Amino acid sequence: MHLIPTWIVLIVLAVSWRWEGVGAVMSVVLGLVYIRFAAGRGHLEWAMVISGPLFLVGGLFLLNWLKRKQKSQES
């Protein structure tokens, strides 16, 4: 039961390696979903610690996707 979120994040990571744009959106959505559930229970600091890395990973996948898209347009 407690490993379900881990498996979800691993699946999102596997998809992200193939399609960075989709992975960026999915990572940010997972972070927002976690904030919704954790903040609703009064644990806002937990939400920031756990969802922060998801936002960071989503941002990095977005940067990589944009750079790759820019490189393909230059060629």
Dihedral pair phi/psi, residue 41, rounded to 5°: -100, 5
pLDDT band at 9 (very low <50, low <70, confident <90, very high): confident
Residue 14 tokens, joined: 């596997």
Q: What is the pLDDT of residues 39-50, one digit of tens each?
A: 777 778 888 888
Model confidence at 2: pLDDT above 90: no
% of the chain surpassing 70 pLDDT: 99
Q: How large is the average pLDDT for residues 12-18?
A: 89
Residue spans per domain, the chain: 26-67
3-class SS shares of the chain: helix, strand, coil, % to 5 = 90, 0, 10
The pLDDT of residue 27 is: 93
Any idea what DSSP says for residue 19? -
CA dist 72 and 55 (Å) reads 26
CA dist 2 and 20 (Å) reads 27
pLDDT band at 1 (very low <50, low <70, confident <90, very high): confident
pTM reported for the whole predicted model: 0.81
- Do the Cβ atoms of 61 and 27 come closer than 8 Å? yes
